[in-house]
Amino acid sequence: MAPRHRVVILGGGFAGLNAAQKLKRAPVEVTLIDRRNFHLFQPLMYQVATGSLSPGEIAAPLRGVLSRQKNAQVLLGEAVDIDPDAKRVILRDGANFEYDSLIVATGSKTSYYGKEEWREWAPSLKTVEEATAIRHKILYAFEWAERAKTEAEARAWLTFVIVGAGATGLELAGALGEIARETLKHDFRHINPTEAQIILVEGGPRVLASYPEDLSAKAEKLVTKLGVEVRKGVMVTNIDENGITFKQGDQTGKLAAKTVLWGGGVITTAFGKKLGERTHAATDKQGRIKVNPDLTVPNYPNIFVVGDLATLDGKNGKPLPGVAQVAIQGGAYAAKAIRARLEGKHDLKPFHYFDAGDMAVIGRASAVANIFGFHVSGLPAWLVWLFIHLINIVEFQNRVMVFIQWGFEYLTFSRGARLITGPSATDVDKQTQAAVAAQASGKG
Amino acid sequence: MAPRHRVVILGGGFAGLNAAQKLKRAPVEVTLIDRRNFHLFQPLMYQVATGSLSPGEIAAPLRGVLSRQKNAQVLLGEAVDIDPDAKRVILRDGANFEYDSLIVATGSKTSYYGKEEWREWAPSLKTVEEATAIRHKILYAFEWAERAKTEAEARAWLTFVIVGAGATGLELAGALGEIARETLKHDFRHINPTEAQIILVEGGPRVLASYPEDLSAKAEKLVTKLGVEVRKGVMVTNIDENGITFKQGDQTGKLAAKTVLWGGGVITTAFGKKLGERTHAATDKQGRIKVNPDLTVPNYPNIFVVGDLATLDGKNGKPLPGVAQVAIQGGAYAAKAIRARLEGKHDLKPFHYFDAGDMAVIGRASAVANIFGFHVSGLPAWLVWLFIHLINIVEFQNRVMVFIQWGFEYLTFSRGARLITGPSATDVDKQTQAAVAAQASGKG
């Protein structure tokens, strides 16, 4: 028997995992390599950060997902280099893996626009550890406000700044509004959590810049209703432990806030850079690899790049957005292309992104959505959002429980996962910061 | 209006939280101080360690539990010293809290019998961080076995030693048996998880030493059925990264195992020691404070010590065991005593522990129980165990969800919370060890 075609997939996110699953019946040997042993349902990360869900509830062990797929194996490891001519990836521990086809789906990391030092004070929402760190920051802020000795100190602990009003920033701001106004309402004796100030800061002229203008306006209105103050046209010039400094038009200002969260953009990872260098591929400003219409790297037809690490223009001439649907469809396309080639078919149509629309959730029963060009907001948009995620997560891992629990907490305003874990709860500020920094530096 | 009687409670475990709740209608001001912001449902900790439940599912935020109790406030802080004559506790950050009555319920920590260096290699199941660290150790062991280069290396990764066959050791061993034989059965390609060796090592002549002998025998039989090897009369003489060395009778031996878990005893904490010194109270071998029959410290009638930190002889002349029921009843008694005194009643009967019995869960649908002197084992015992915990946890925080999910996972053998979190998944052994060490040293 001839040795089987070896497909190596780097990354078990939406793109990589879907590619692996779509190769189930293909005559190939799939090796899925990831640094983590679990797939993460990213769209619900903000729920972990805000204490509604536990990390375990939005994650599925990769081995579990693929355990019945006989032609697939999962490997815990981190790709650090590639030799595209020898068709080999190199892991951090020195191990080499040869492939016949490679699907790179290693994703992106948070960009601080060159100010890596901000990461320490303003965690983003990219990994489970960061989500947990954000949760700690938020919950500790109220604890520290409760014990503050001066009015100004309490005020700084009760001021929350979210930088960047994209979907992530809005989700965080909305959830924070609910935490302060509902969840913690009765929990303190010396402070009034409902007086917390939640400020969403955006450099551009509107929130949700990539959405149609009417939905941006709607989203701003909805999040304002939750007690969030939206400030547009504000460029953050510095972030440290005491808050942010910013520029607004010609003026500069300061905002004293002990809790700053980062809803900014993404950039390529160290491995993404390496891949670009080794294949001499062109990249965009964020370092994403410009792929062919069939998602392969120019001159390397056996290397597919899918998900956040790739960039390709869509029908409208604009690059496809870095969202889950593009990753899922890209992964499926790469799998299909490999299957087709093995069957001797080389006339596969270019990748076409089927764009069902965008949506951003703003709070309990509140969202905005652009579905096939229809603009919806408020409860109807939220129901659509819920339905789509329900379908996705249930299909994916039969996690009906998450949604039962979640519905339950939505109805009761409770948040079951309000745990602050870590070495100890005293001397907390330094520790939270250190933890965030340590976790952040472990990435990259 | 006269200032209200100030009750300070140290510790939000079973004893402290129950005391606070039982003071709900008393004319007092309650301040509950804990290092953590949550109460932990300890009896289900092994489920977190073995990936069935997420930490959030067995914890309840203290503020949430007491939010409607107007006479109670929660404070995040760690007591480090006490001045019993000035009636004052001192927190780590220097803050002082005066009390009229004090309830000390700060619990115990794991004892390594003077070999603190073992902690690094053999985590115990005392805190949420340790439970997570154990989970990481277990899951990584299989990952590393899958990638092992030699047979001997794979074998060492697939050998799990649990030291101490009390209730905790049995729970861990049983759950490990299920993980290896059921949960991970189909998950690997190069190793066969069902060949994992799980060895439960006990210094004494039988498992569950504090139980009646027939139940010990039964428990050993049940855990053996799950693929666990029980070795009795084995004294561990050393633990390091490669496994354990031991003495059995006159012989010494070695066991190569990359994963060692600690099911040993407990000892008093630094604060417990301080309390003993400051009040000149007598202590037992584990450093527990010998309290009066009314749970107060000799010569300090306004200081109650309840839960694991106290020791008092029961009806049978033996010290009361360090279990949840003793803590719960002790906390309630202290609250009742304070209420009675405020009403001018000083003839309260001594604390009487209502002993409903003991039970230890061994695996799926398998347990042993001693209920009012009736010895039960197997499925009936497990059903009783389930029922009692169901009642407890539901009463406590309305967490019906936990049990639905849990029942679901029991039926399907799946374990949803199989996440390995932390900085990165590579170079894992050192990291896990370091994490365990760091977390352990943060305690004390």
Mean pLDDT across chain A: 87
Is B143 in CB contact (< 8 Å) with chain A? yes
pLDDT for position B68:
87
Mean pLDDT of B352-366: 87
Pairing of strands A374-378, B310-311: unpaired
Return the structure tokens found at A285. Answer: 């400003």
Model confidence band, residue A405 (pLDDT cutoffs 50, 70, 90): low
pLDDT for position B210:
87
pLDDT for position A399:
53
* Angle (nearest 5°) at CA B392 between B388 and B398: 130
A33, A420, A428, A443, best to mutate vs chain B, most B CBs in 10 Å: A420
A406, A424, A432, best to mutate vs chain B, most B CBs in 10 Å: A424
CB A27 within 8 A of CB B388: no
Is A153 in CB contact (< 8 Å) with chain B? no
Q: Active-site residue A171, yes or no? A: yes
What is the four-CA torsion angle of A172, A178, A179, A181, rounded to 10 degrees? 140
Please determine, for residue B404, whether its predicted confidence score (pLDDT) is greater than 70: no
A419, A429, A430, A436, best to mutate vs chain B, most B CBs in 10 Å: A419
Nearest-CA residue of chain A relative to B64? A187
Return the structure tokens found at A134. Answer: 């954000």
Instruction: Enumerate residues 6+ apart whose C-beta is below 8 A from A205.
Output: A232, A233
Phi then psi for residue B344, to 5 deg, are 85, 10
- The closest CB to that of A139, out of B37, B139, B408, belongs to B37
DSSP 3-state of B387: helix
CB B253 within 8 A of CB B238: no
CB B40 within 8 A of CB B332: no
Model confidence band, residue A14 (pLDDT cutoffs 50, 70, 90): very high
d(CA B276, CA B442): 22
- The closest CB to that of B54, out of A54, A74, A399, belongs to A54
B10, B37, B74, B153, best to mutate vs chain A, most A CBs in 10 Å: B37
What is the share, in percent, of chain B residues with pLDDT greater than 70? 87
Please determine, for residue A411, whether its predicted confidence score (pLDDT) is greater than 60: no
Q: Give the model confidence (pLDDT) of A201-216 as tens digits.
A: 999 999 999 899 999 9
Mean pLDDT of B200-207: 96
DSSP 3-state of B6: strand
- What does the DSSP 8-state code read for residue B56? G
Please determine, for residue A421, whether its predicted confidence score (pLDDT) is greater than 80: no
Lowest mean pLDDT among A80-94, A398-412, B314-328: A398-412
Neighbours of A241 (CB within 10 A): 12
Q: Do A146 and B75 touch (CB under 8 A)?
A: yes
Return the structure tokens found at A175. Answer: 């959830």
Lowest mean pLDDT among A319-333, B221-235, B316-330, B421-435: B421-435
pLDDT for position A419:
62
Please determine, for residue B304, whether its predicted confidence score (pLDDT) is greater than 90: yes
Residue whose tokens read 């799990």: B160
Pairing of strands A357-363, A5-10: unpaired
Is A76 in CB contact (< 8 Å) with chain B? yes
Residue whose tokens read 């001066």: A150
d(CA B130, CA B171): 15
Please determine, for residue A394, whether its predicted confidence score (pLDDT) is greater than 80: no
Mean pLDDT of B209-222: 94
Q: Which residue has the higher pLDDT, A2 or A87?
A: A87
Is B68 in CB contact (< 8 Å) with chain A? yes
Q: C-alpha distances in angstroms, B60 versus A384, B56, B389?
A: 31, 7, 15
Give, to the nearest 10 degrees, the angle between helix A213-225 and helix A167-178. 20
Chain A residue numbers with beta carbons less than 8 Å from the beta carbon of B76 are 140, 143, 146-147, 425-426, 428
CB B227 within 8 A of CB B177: yes
Q: C-alpha distances in angstroms, B331 versus A90, A382, B18, B42, B104?
A: 58, 45, 5, 16, 9
The number of residues in chain A equals 444
For residue A115, how far is the Cα from the chain centroid?
A: 20
Q: By CB neighbour count within 10 A (0-12 exposed, 13-18 middle, 19+ buried), where does B162 fall?
A: buried
CB B163 within 8 A of CB B119: no
Report, in angstroms and rounded to the nearest whole number, the Rg of chain B calculated over CA atoms: 22
Q: Do B73 and A189 touch (CB under 8 A)?
A: yes
Model confidence band, residue B363 (pLDDT cutoffs 50, 70, 90): confident
Dihedral class, residue A413 (left if φ above 0, else alpha if ψ from -120 to 50, else beta): left
pLDDT for position A346:
85
Q: Give the model confidence (pLDDT) of B269-283 as tens digits.
A: 999 999 999 999 999
pLDDT for position B407:
57
Neighbours of A225 (CB within 10 A): 13
Q: Do B418 and A64 touch (CB under 8 A)?
A: yes
Dihedral class, residue A113 (left if φ above 0, else alpha if ψ from -120 to 50, else beta): left
Looking at the DSSP bridge assignments, the partners of residue A164 are none
Looking at the DSSP bridge assignments, the partners of residue B233 are none
Model confidence band, residue A424 (pLDDT cutoffs 50, 70, 90): very low
Please determine, for residue A308, whether its predicted confidence score (pLDDT) is greater than 60: yes
Model confidence band, residue B194 (pLDDT cutoffs 50, 70, 90): very high
Q: Which of residues 347-386 of B touch A (CB under 8 A)?
A: none
Residue whose tokens read 């915990």: B389
CB B359 within 8 A of CB B370: yes
pLDDT for position A441:
37
Model confidence band, residue B264 (pLDDT cutoffs 50, 70, 90): confident
Chain A residue numbers with beta carbons less than 8 Å from the beta carbon of B438 are 423
Which span out of A35-39, A347-351, B288-292 was modeled with the highest average pLDDT?
B288-292
- The closest CB to that of B92, out of A91, A414, A426, belongs to A426
Name the nearest CA neighbour of B18 among B279, B376, B357, B304: B304
Please determine, for residue B432, whether its predicted confidence score (pLDDT) is greater than 50: no
d(CA A119, CA A262): 8
Q: Do A418 and B67 touch (CB under 8 A)?
A: no
Mean pLDDT of A366-387: 87
- ipTM above threshold 0.95: no
Mean pLDDT of B128-157: 92
Is A408 in CB contact (< 8 Å) with chain B? yes
pLDDT for position A434:
38
| A-B C-beta contacts closer than 8 Å | 171
Instruction: Enumerate residues 6+ apart whose C-beta is below 8 A from B438.
Output: A423
Is A237 in CB contact (< 8 Å) with chain B? no
Q: Do B401 and A401 touch (CB under 8 A)?
A: yes
Q: Do B63 and A421 touch (CB under 8 A)?
A: no
- The closest CB to that of B37, out of A63, A186, A420, belongs to A420
Is B4 in CB contact (< 8 Å) with chain A? no
Q: Give the model confidence (pLDDT) of A80-132 as tens digits.
A: 999 999 999 999 999 999 999 999 999 999 999 999 999 999 999 999 889 98
Mean pLDDT of A324-332: 94
Element holding B322 (H helix, E strand): none
d(CA B400, CA A269): 42
Return the structure tokens found at A23. Answer: 């190769």
Q: For B68-124, give the DSSP string.
A: T-TTEEEEE--EEEEETTTTEEEETTS-EEE-SEEEE----EE--TT-GGGGGTS--
d(CA B149, CA B257): 16
Q: Do A419 and B93 touch (CB under 8 A)?
A: no
Chain A residue numbers with beta carbons less than 8 Å from the beta carbon of B61 are 187, 415, 418-419
Nearest-CA residue of chain B relative to A422? B129
Q: Three-class SS string for chain A?
A: CCCCEEEEEECCCHHHHHHHHHCCCCCEEEEEEECCCEEECHHHHHHHHCCCCCHHHHEEEHHHHHCCCCCEEEEECCEEEEECCCCEEEECCCCEEECCEEEECCCCEECCCCCHHHHHCCCCCCCHHHHHHHHHHHHHHHHHHHCCCCHHHHHHHCEEEEECCCHHHHHHHHHHHHHHHHHCCCCCCCCCHHHCEEEEECCCCCCCCCCCHHHHHHHHHHHHHCCEEEECCEEEEEEECCEEEEEECCEEEEEECCEEEECCCEECCHHHHHHHHHHCCCECCCCCEECCCCCEECCEEEEEECHHHEECECCCCCECCCCHHHHHHHHHHHHHHHHHHHCCCCCCCCCCCCCCEEEEEEECCEEEEEECCEEEEEHHHHHHHHHHHHHHHHHHHCCHHHHHHHHHHHHHCCCCCCCCCCCCCCCHHHHHHHHHHHHHHCCC
Pairing of strands B243-248, B234-240: antiparallel
Dihedral class, residue B63 (left if φ above 0, else alpha if ψ from -120 to 50, else beta): alpha
CB A31 within 8 A of CB B149: no
Nearest-CA residue of chain A relative to B414? A64
Looking at the DSSP bridge assignments, the partners of residue A266 are A110
Model confidence band, residue A363 (pLDDT cutoffs 50, 70, 90): confident
Mean pLDDT across chain B: 87
Q: Give the model confidence (pLDDT) of A263-295 as tens digits.
A: 988 999 999 999 999 999 999 999 999 999 999
Model confidence band, residue A410 (pLDDT cutoffs 50, 70, 90): low
Element holding B199 (H helix, E strand): strand B197-201
